Structures are given as C-alpha cells and as structure tokens.
Structure 1
Amino acid sequence: MRRLLALVLVLAATGAAPSAQARVLAPAGPNPTFVITGHGWGHGVGMSQYGAYGYAQHGFTYPKILVHYFPGTDLGTAAGKVRVLLSSGTRKLTLGSTDAFTVRDGSGAVHDVSAGTYTLTAAMKMKVDGAQKVQALAGPLLFQPGTSALTLGRRYRGAIQLDVDGGKLRAINLVGLEQYLYGVVPSEMPYTWAPEALKAQAVAARSYALATKRAGAFDVYKDTRSQVYLGLDHEKPSSNAAVDATAGKVLLYDGAVAKTFFFSTSGGRTASAEDVWGTAVPYLVSVPDPYDTISPYHTWGPFPFTGAKLGRTLHLGGAVTDVRTTLNSSGRVTTLTALTANGERPVEGAKLKTALGLRSTWFSVGVLSLTAPTGPIVYGSTTRLTGVARGIRPVELQQRTDGDWALVAGLKAAKDGSIAVAVKPAVTTQYRLVTGTVAAAAARVAVAPLVRLTPPRTPRELLGFIRPIIPGATVAIQRQQGTAWVTVMSTTVDDAGRFDAQFQLTAGTYRARVAPGHGLVPGVSPVLLVSVS
C-alpha cells in the first residue's frame, strides 16, 4: 500500500521570535521542551580575552585594548611581591629541589638542606645541615632555592613558606610580582595568541593581583578564586616576553590600581559590574565587543530541557510548565520565573547558570511544543496541529510513520510564538517540531479507515466500502445490544474496497468495524438503523 502523506500548512501568522518583555506570548502548551541558547563564557565583566585577541588581530596595541575594556583608566606603574597560597589543610607535604637549598626556621636560624625531596608533617621534622637523623624545627619554615627551583607538586620560582594553621600544614609561595605573572599569563590565556593580546593579559593580571590582595597570611590563591597560577613548568617564552614588555605596568583609576576583571568570552557585549554584582564601578561598564566572534563560545547551545528535568534540577517540587525571564541592562538574565503546578517560582540567573551548567547568564529560553487531536481522524480528512515555537528560529516540522524522521516544511511562528498547521496524513503519523539538533516531544495523529454502510436492498445482506482500499481486511458487522456492540457477521474487503455481508437481518442498529493494520487504527462506520417489514 502506498503511504504517501499529503500536507497542507496553515500558519497563524508570520514574524520574528518575540522577546518575553515585548508582547503577550502564547502559553507553552502541554509537555513543552525548553531550549536554552546563549552567548559568551564567564561573568562578562571587564576584559573579554577572546575579544582582546580579536582586537590584537585587527592591529590594536595593548594600551588601546585595555582602555576599551576599562574606560577611564590610565596606565601607571607598580611593583612588589606576592604571597600565593599553594596548599592548606593537609597533614603532610612533600617539598624538594634537584639542587641543595636552605631553610630558615622560626627562630631565624638558617639550615642547609641537601638536594632531594622531604615529606613534612605538622611536627616540622626533617634532616638538615648534613645530619643523619631528622630534627624538629620551629615554624614557620621558609625554604629558599639554590640554583634550581623548589618543587611542591610543581616547580615554583621564589621561596616557599610552610606553617601550621589549625593543626594542618599550609604552603605559601613568596615570589616577585613579575615572576608570579610568568606563571599566570600562560595559565589564563593561550601562549600562542597575538603578542598584543598577551601584553593586555599581563597588565590586566598584574593589576588584578595588586588590587585584590587579601589581608592575612597570604595575598592570592593559585586558582580561579584569584588567578590560575601553574608555576615555572607552565611558563612559555611568548608569555614571558609579554610580561617583560609590560614590566611594572598597571591600570589606574583615580590613582588607585584598578580591579581589572577578565573572562573568556563576552558574546558580543561585556556586562557592567552593577548588573552582575550589584555595585557600580566607573570603569567596569558594559561595552561592545565586536571581535569576540572568533570565540567558539561566542554563541552556544541549544541545550534542551523537559519541564520535568528543569523542575528536578532546580528543585522546584514539580515540572516546569512555562518560563519567563527578566533581563538587566547588559542583556543578561537576572531572574527566571518558572511556572509550576504550585505557582510561580523565581530563580536567580546566576544560580540557574550554575545549576544547569550554562556558560554565562546571557541566554534566552525558547519553547517548543506540539499538540495533536486527542482522537483518531478519518482517512482522507484534514486535522490541525497546534503548537508553540517561542523565541526559537529556525523551526521545522518533521514527520515519521514507521521509519526515519523526514522534513515536512520549515515554519514561521506568529508574533506570540504560536503555530497552527493543517495536516492530512494517510496513515497514523508522528509529528514533531525541530530546531537544529533539538526535537520537541512528538505528537501522534491516529488515522482510522473511512468505513461506510449502505442501506440494505434485501433483508439478507449489508453492503459497504472502506477507504483506503485494503483487500482482505476483515470487516466485523456489529449490532447494538443495550450499551454493547456484538459482532453478528464477518466478511472481507474485495479488491475494489467493497464488502458484502450475507446474513439474515433483524431490526436494530448496525455498524461495521474494520481493524486493517497497515498504519491505521480501527475504524467504525456511522450507525445504520435497519427496520425489517
């Protein structure tokens, strides 16, 4: 049997996907799929690293790059040392060097230490001054390198101090600011990038380190709580050259070192500190970032979520049936309001980013859903699919009978995001809305055969026909008895699609029922009232 499906598309209207704040939107509909797409990676405040790389590729020097991202700042100079927390809260640490080095104990005495590795605990015992036995040293211990760098998991420039904090060991790297940057710049930006981008990174990292020094035993962390610092083994000639070329250079605002935040990718526009953290900073404002397009994270997604998954992930106590977002002046999501069976539940954009593993808070939430009629349609008739394609472009309609999904047509939603599509399937068919690699839940349109009885010419037969023609299909002639239908005769369909049931008719209400298979659900004829005189 041929399974060709005729399709008629009826679009409610055409238009671009609307924003949630601009107009009234069509409700999400049953069983929606929420599609999240976004821009950028990171908090969005300050210098976009990919954007800086793009500016460098277009011939901008590092001072011009920096003043774009930090308007109102000036280049100045600063110097100093940095105390970097390498480790804390551990019971033992292994430290050493490939050459002899020294350690100064808490009393000020300096001891010679032979090349090798030494494992220390809070008791601060180790071999020094050529002794064969370990001896306890008064803390804190300050290890100074000889001709080779000290190693504590990694090799580090400068000295390493060990002390006891809360009964556990703590290690702090005491290193010059420029040497610290040797280990930061290639850890925060690819060393293969353009020299002017690396120089901009060096100045931003230098400024950030000085402007964000902590009070207490150490100044900065070795990870993203401050800046990623991977030590001597991660240094590269290109990034070291960028540090040297900008030695001592920092950004100043009103004479103070600026907090020069940076991040991976803006998505086309940076965010203001006020929008992200609630406090306005004159030089941390939203600026355009035209060359950020080189980033693989400039645009990301789509990431699909069912309402049930959103509800579980966000701990909302039930499935999400619809959403709306509130944006700040930088275009980032400040709040997502989720509609559930228990009412509306607000979720902060930053918390949503973390919970869903998104790359930034610059995102939009589209909705895909499709609804089919609840009961079967009769062969040869047209039915209407209703749906929503809200905040999503492009969208296409796909269909499947018993094989692979196939494209039906591209669709445009109405201004409110609604879609209405008239379809005329020849067999039971599944339909779904698709955008890119994301497919919404399928809607099934069941098709029953067209079955008809003709008024009897004699009291000894009932004639009828079905469409489509399915030779050999069994036809059950049924008579109503009370509220039940009882089969009183069976026959089959001929090659012309007709059937002839030969039996003695009695007065009553009859119908024909056919369950032909071949992609069709059972169908019944309209009832026929038979009177026998």
Structure 2
Amino acid sequence: MRRIVTTSVAALLAGLACAPGAHAASRLVVQGHGFGHGIGMSQYGALGYAEHGFSYTDILSHYYEQTSVVPLASEPDVRVLLQTARRATITGAVAGPDGPLDPAKTYVATSSAGQVALATGGKRVGVYAAPLRLSAPAGGAVQLRGMAANGLRDGRYRGALEIRPAGGSVQAINAVDLEDYVRGVVSAESPANWLAEQLKAQAVVARSYAVTTNVGSTTDGIDQYADTRSQMYKGVAAEFPSTDAAVAATAGQVVAQDGKPVVTYFFSTSGGHTENVEFSFLGALPRTWLRGVDDPFDSVSPRHTWTPFTFSGTQVRQRLHGLVRGSFRGIKVLERGTSPRIVRAEVVGSNGVTEVTGPQLRQRFGLYDTWATFTYISSKVKKPATPKAPKDPKAPAVPGAPIDNGAATAGTPVDTTGGQAASIARRRPSELTGSIDRARRGRRVRIERRDGATWRTVATTRVRTGGRYRAPLPGPGEYRVAFGDIAGPSVNVR
C-alpha cells in the first residue's frame, strides 16, 4: 500500500544573519539503504536465502509472487549489441557469407553505402547486404577486437557476430544461443563463488529477462544490450565451472505466471524490503509479481545500510542546479513506496518549491538507492554584541568638562564606560544557533567541541519550533551540533 509522508525539512537559514565576526555553515546529510532500483530479486538477499538453506525455486517464489518455474517450449537465439564503431575487427571466424574463412586471419568490417564491406590483410573480400554474419567454430568463439559496451577489450563470444551498418559506423551484434547467452550473464551479475542456489536463481531470472524483453525493433536485429541497460553480458569471459553448472542445472527454465514467462527485474541490495515496480519505474503499470516484499537476509550486503553522504551548502547548490528557487532550505519527502523508497519530493527554496522524483534525487546526488532520508543542518556562532555602558547622570553635558561623581579620590582614575562594557561582554558567552530540519520540537541535541581527533559533548539543548536550536558555548574552539548519529557542520569560535 502506498504511504504518503509529510516529513518537514524546511531549513531556515534566513533570519540567521551573522553578527560581525561570526562563523556559519550548513550541511545536508543523506542516509539510506539498498543499492539499485529495488524491483524484483535482490541478489544479496537471494544469497542470504541460499545461506539459510533455501532452494532456488524457494528464492524465486519469494521475490516474484504468484509465479512458478516452468520450462520454455523453445529457446530462441539472443542478439546482443556489443560495439558501435567505425570498424569491427574480428578474429577466429570460420565461416562468412561466401563460405569458409580462415580463423587465423583478422577481418575488418566497415560501412559501405548501406552495406558492409569486409577486408583482410588490406584486401577487400567483398561487399554484402546486412547483416554480414561471421560464425564461430562449433564449441568455440570469435574475438571482437577493441572495447565493447560491456567494458571488455578483445572479448570472445560464442555463436556468430552479425555486422550491420549504422550511418558511417558499424554495429557488432552477437547472435548467440539462449543457454550460451545465460552462461555469459550469470557471473557478470553475481560473483561466481556465491552459493549454488543463488547462482541457479540468477540463471533463471537472466533467462526469463532475455525472453521477455527486447530493446530493439524488428529491423535492427538487436534484442539486448551488453550492459546494465539490459543485463551484463561478457561472453566467454564470464564462463566459470560454478556458473556453467547453475545454467546447466536450470536449462530452459523461466519464471512464469499462468504458464507465461514474465519480466524478472533484479538488482543488488534491497536494504530489507523490495519495491513495487510502479513506485520505482514511475509510469510503469503495477504487476502482481513485481510487488515489494520483506527481504530478511539482505543484511549480508555491504550496502544494506550506507555510510552517510555529506554535502556542504555549496555542493548542494551545485547538485541541485536549476531546481532550487532562491536559497536552498531542504528537501521535503511527499510520497514513499512500500520499501520505503522515495516516489515524490520537493526541493524547498526561499522563493518556492520544485517537485522532483526519487530517481531524480538519486541521480543528482549520486546515491546508491532512493531509500533515503535528507537532513539539512545550519549552524552559526552568534557573538554577544558589545553593550553600551550605562549613562552617568552626573556626566557633564559639555565634552571635556571635569567629572565629579562624589566617589573618586585624588589620583584615582574613573572608568564609567569601556571597563564596565567589557565586564558585561565577558559575562555573556557566544552561542551556537541554527536549525535542524528533521528535528521535532523538544528533541534534545548535543553540542560538541573538537578535542584533537575526537569530538566531546560539552552541552545539550532542546530543539525549538521549526527545528531551531540555541546553546551557549563555554569558550573558544571548534563546535558542531549533533542530532542522533548525524553531525552538523563545524564552526569556529575565537
């Protein structure tokens, strides 16, 4: 069920004007859980299930509710876009459009007036209609030189490479049997040394994803990308005995609902709960098998809970360029999903608000996930103003006239101004003031002073209306306010 959240984050820096010589700073602290979009199977969560003795079918039925694992009626080839470049350089091919090729030779394919030209040793072999297909030997692989979209240089791939013109460039597409494709995915997505049941679950979801999604059209010959726009695919480089065994043990199996294969999104780390597809992929339709579920064993992930992200006021303005109206005041979460990842939020400024989505905030701040909380803290040192000395009723109206207040004796100087003011000023300490947007009225916060490499609590105070706080400081030093496990920016008192 959707949850509407009205957590206020109005950080009121306006009105905290600094007295001369004061020091002020602000900080945005972002805390959160998880890594990825949050939909479907959490890979670390699946590992946790495997560690607790659950089978791959148990794992899949947990993350994809109302589904079962069934065999495919037939297994298609998959066409994966590996590279777009001025030329495609291939070795190891044994067959081309005109018959056998020498696997020891290097072949270069380029675009030529909407067709594909093939050359070797500087001599043209021919010009062919697309796609130009260069096949690997049975049980072997062809090598694509240069950098591929999956980050591999000079990678090796089973099946065949199909070359298509793309303007002045060519696309190198790996046409590969579904099972060989899955062999090239599993260890690229889950470490090969993970437990067998998790690797089996990964193999089934990789196969299911491949047969239910298509990034291309009927004319461009592309089904999948070789990177995270689809799922990571590294060809022969991803084949290990453990992952090959997982693929073989689940050969032809997919996740299905009512006998029909379904899209099986997956991601790294849930933080303890997965998310409904419509709350993460905004605009997507709800799916019964892509609903958020508890993920009790995901804590094995190093990003189950993040180390907080911290941004200075300047960094916040840079990250939110174009979204802040006036001066930045905070981020107000309007709606969370079931996990609770952010669906909608507002960037609050002194001149108004701008509505944003959780994915936008994740992208702007470089966060691991949209399961996040934002705490904006401002701090300043307010020094006491130098008070005026009380006026002496017996002081002469004429400047320079002698003073006689009846108390001075001969030879004793009389100070009716500066000394008295300085004494009053010494009795009034500097104060640390500011606001914490997520702190409720009455919440106790700590005032800390740096002592070498550590921070020590020197005072506490309670938060006032609007998250504002104020506390006297015991003397010179470097100070900050601490709210739970969140520390504000440091400021100096001299």
Query: TM over 0.5: same fold?
Result: yes
Which residue of structure 2 aligns with residue 361 of structure 1?
Answer: 370
Which residue of structure 1 aligns with residue 214 of structure 2?
Answer: 213
**Separation in 1 of the partners of 2:466 and 2:305?**
22
Query: Aligned partner of 2:169: which letter?
Result: K
Which residue of structure 2 aligns with residue 233 of structure 1?
Answer: 237
Answer 1 or 2: higher relative contact order, Cα 8 Å, separation at least 6: 2
Query: Aligned partner of 1:332: which letter?
Result: R
Task: Work out which of the residue numbers 43, 47, 69 in structure 1 matches 2:41.
Answer: 47
Superposed CA deviations along residues 55-114 of structure 1, whole A, max 9, x for unmatched, are 0000000001001000001111114233333345421111011xx61112xxxx424334
**Separation in 1 of the partners of 2:4 and 2:66?**
35
Shift of 1:132: 9.7
Shift of 1:396: 4.3
Superposed CA deviations along residues 148-189 of structure 1, whole A, max 9, x for unmatched, are 411112110111111223342121111111110110000011
Which residue of structure 2 aligns with residue 138 of structure 1?
Answer: 128
Task: Work out which of the residue numbers 92, 98, 102 in structure 1 matches 2:95.
Answer: 102
Superposed CA deviations along residues 305-348 of structure 1, whole A, max 9, x for unmatched, are 23332222221355412221123232111223122233212222
Q: Which moved more, 1:392-401 or 1:44-53?
A: 392-401
Q: How many residues align?
A: 418
Matches within 5 A, 1:272-291: 272-277=276-281, 278=283, 279-291=285-297
**Separation in 2 of the partners of 1:87 and 1:206?**
18
Matches within 5 A, 1:332-351: 332-351=341-360
Which residue of structure 2 aligns with residue 195 of structure 1?
Answer: 196
Shift of 1:409: 4.7
Shift of 1:385: 3.5
Q: Which moved more, 1:229-238 or 1:72-81?
A: 72-81
- TM-aligned CA distance change 1:369 to 1:243, over 3 Å: same
Task: Work out which of the residue numbers 294, 297, 300 in structure 2 matches 1:294.
Answer: 300
- Whether 2:441 is the aligned partner of 1:397: answer no
**Separation in 1 of the partners of 2:158 and 2:240?**
14
Superposed CA deviations along residues 209-242 of structure 1, whole A, max 9, x for unmatched, are 1010343212111111111100102211101110
**Separation in 1 of the partners of 2:328 and 2:10?**
16
Q: SS at the partner of 1:134?
A: strand
Shift of 1:26: 7.2
Larger Rg: 1
Matches within 5 A, 1:364-443: 364-375=373-384, 378-381=425-428, 384-391=431-438, 396-400=446-450, 406-409=455-458, 414=463, 418=467, 420=469, 422-423=471-472, 425=474, 427-434=475-482, 439-443=487-491
**Separation in 2 of the partners of 1:306 and 1:390?**
15
- Whether 2:260 is the aligned partner of 1:256: answer yes
Task: Work out which of the residue numbers 310, 323, 335 in structure 2 matches 1:327.
Answer: 335
Q: CA RMSD in A?
A: 3.1
- TM-aligned CA distance change 1:444 to 1:149, over 3 Å: closer
Superposed CA deviations along residues 435-475 of structure 1, whole A, max 9, x for unmatched, are 799753334556xxxxxxxxxxxxxxxxxxxxxxxxxxxxx
Which residue of structure 1 aligns with residue 102 of structure 2?
Answer: 113
**Separation in 1 of the partners of 2:213 and 2:10?**
48
Shift of 1:433: 2.0
- TM-aligned CA distance change 1:410 to 1:379, over 3 Å: closer
Shift of 1:193: 0.6
Runs of 5+ unmatched residues, structure 2? 17-24, 145-153, 386-423
- Whether 2:296 is the aligned partner of 1:306: answer no
Q: SS at the partner of 1:326?
A: strand
- TM-aligned CA distance change 1:134 to 1:329, over 3 Å: closer
Shift of 1:115: 1.5
Task: Work out which of the residue numbers 124, 127, 143 in structure 2 matches 1:151.
Answer: 143
- TM-score scaled by length of structure 2: 0.76
**Separation in 2 of the partners of 1:308 and 1:243?**
50
**Separation in 2 of the partners of 1:93 and 1:334?**
43
**Separation in 2 of the partners of 1:154 and 1:262?**
25
- Whether 2:267 is the aligned partner of 1:246: answer no
Over the matched positions of the two proteins, sequence identity in percent amounts to 36
- TM-aligned CA distance change 1:394 to 1:350, over 3 Å: farther
Query: Aligned partner of 1:144: which letter?
Result: S
**Separation in 2 of the partners of 1:363 and 1:304?**
13
Runs of 5+ unmatched residues, structure 1? 1-18, 447-533
- TM-aligned CA distance change 1:395 to 1:90, over 3 Å: farther
Q: SS at the partner of 2:367?
A: coil
Which residue of structure 2 aligns with residue 3 of structure 1?
Answer: none
Q: Which moved more, 1:403-412 or 1:228-237?
A: 403-412
- TM-score scaled by length of structure 1: 0.71
Q: Which moved more, 1:174-183 or 1:275-284?
A: 275-284
Superposed CA deviations along residues 336-362 of structure 1, whole A, max 9, x for unmatched, are 312223321222211111111011111
- TM-aligned CA distance change 1:172 to 1:388, over 3 Å: same
- TM-aligned CA distance change 1:22 to 1:95, over 3 Å: closer
**Separation in 1 of the partners of 2:313 and 2:62?**
42
Query: Aligned partner of 1:336: which letter?
Result: A
Q: SS at the partner of 2:101?
A: strand
Which residue of structure 1 aligns with residue 177 of structure 2?
Answer: 176
Shift of 1:34: 1.3
**Separation in 2 of the partners of 1:228 and 1:263?**
12
Superposed CA deviations along residues 392-438 of structure 1, whole A, max 9, x for unmatched, are 8996432259x76641258586597846454352x434421247997
CA contact (8 A) 1:304 1:438 kept: no
